[in-house]
Amino acid sequence: ADGTLEVLCSDHAPHCDYEKEVEFDYAPFGITGLENELAVSLMQLHHSGRMKLIDVLHRYTVAPARILRLEKGTLAVGRDADVTLLDPDRAWSFRRADTRSKSTNNPFYDWPLRGLPVMTVVGGRVVHADSSLRREEPVSV
């Protein structure tokens, strides 16, 4: 909240299980994190009262785009329609069986989490929609 952390991200290091099932000093660095990173960040930073929701989201969107000099991270005319619709209070838990990564090296399995991306739009095209977003009629994006 004091500006020490400018950007939030994950290196998402999905090493195969056999690579991680060795002594600590011999295992490659990193864990998987892409699938639950946002929820863990929301739990630890926002829901704990340490940071406002807008400040957490800024560190995932606007700040990295600015640092990398990309015309992304905001909604504006002429910009790519890359959007994630988030339910910041949605309760869920990440189960080992749900992982889509090649690795299952994740310390957050079965944690009670809050905050779930429910739709992802990339280049104006819906690439993920949670089943909870049932709609009566087609929606053009």
Active-site residue numbers?
11
Amino acid letter, 96: R
Q: What is the 3-state secondary structure (H, E, C) of 64-124?
A: HHHHCCCCCCCCCCCCCCCEEEEEEEEEECCCHHHCCCCCCCCCCCCCCEEEEEEEEEECC
